[in-house]
């Protein structure tokens, strides 16, 4: 059973940076894909970035060049480094995982963390 715990959220001014972390436990065959999602009140949850635990990443077009997803050598901790933050990046960010190989299929994730809040002010 996959368990996920996020941390690293906070409040920053536009143009600032934050780094989120997600610690995963459980069998790796149940988390061949790990990803970051975000949801702001009144909006649908959207995929931000994903990493295939055996190699490869995906970034939503609106965050390319600003956000970077990565996984540590033990494939236990996933990170999201966020630079040049904008007010529209404000949301609760969730760590998620799934089995399978099509990691950019952001509607198919099955394990979820509790979320961590990111607030970006102008």
Instruction: Give Cα separations from 32 to 27, 44, 71, 76, 109 (angstroms).
Output: 9, 24, 12, 11, 11
Contact 54, 32 (CB under 8 A): yes
* Whole-number percent of the chain with pLDDT over 70: 100
Q: What is the pLDDT, as a whole number, of residue 83?
A: 98
Q: Does the structure show a pLDDT above 90 at 1? A: no
Phi, psi at residue 61, to the nearest 5°?
Answer: -55, -35
Number of helices followed by number of strands (H, E) in the chain: 0, 11
pLDDT of residue 77: 96
Please report the pLDDT score of residue 21 as a whole number: 98
> Does position 28 have pLDDT exceeding 90, yes or no?
no
Provide mean pLDDT across the span 28-53.
93
Exposure on the CB side of residue 71, measured as CA atoms within 13 A = 24
Lowest mean pLDDT among 29-33, 79-83, 85-89: 29-33
Task: Give the other-Cβ count within 10 Å of 27's Cβ.
Answer: 9
**Distance of alpha carbon 53 from the chain centroid:** 14
SS3 88: helix
Per-residue model confidence (pLDDT) at position 106: 83
pLDDT for res 111: 96
């Amino acid at each position: 059973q996959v368990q996920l715990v996020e941390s690293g959220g906070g409040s920053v001014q536009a143009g600032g940076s934050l780094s989120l972390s997600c610690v995963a436990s459980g069998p790796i065959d149940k988390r061949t894909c790990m990803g970051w999602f975000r949801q702001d009140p009144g909006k649908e949850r959207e995929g931000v970035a994903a990493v295939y635990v055996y190699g490869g990443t995906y970034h939503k077009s609106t965050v390319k060049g600003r956000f970077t997803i990565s996984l540590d050598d033990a494939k236990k901790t996933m990170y999201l480094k966020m630079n040049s933050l904008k007010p529209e990046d404000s949301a609760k960010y969730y760590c998620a995982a799934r089995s399978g190989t099509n990691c950019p299929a952001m509607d198919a994730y099955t394990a979820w963390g509790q979320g961590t809040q990111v607030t970006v002010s102008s």
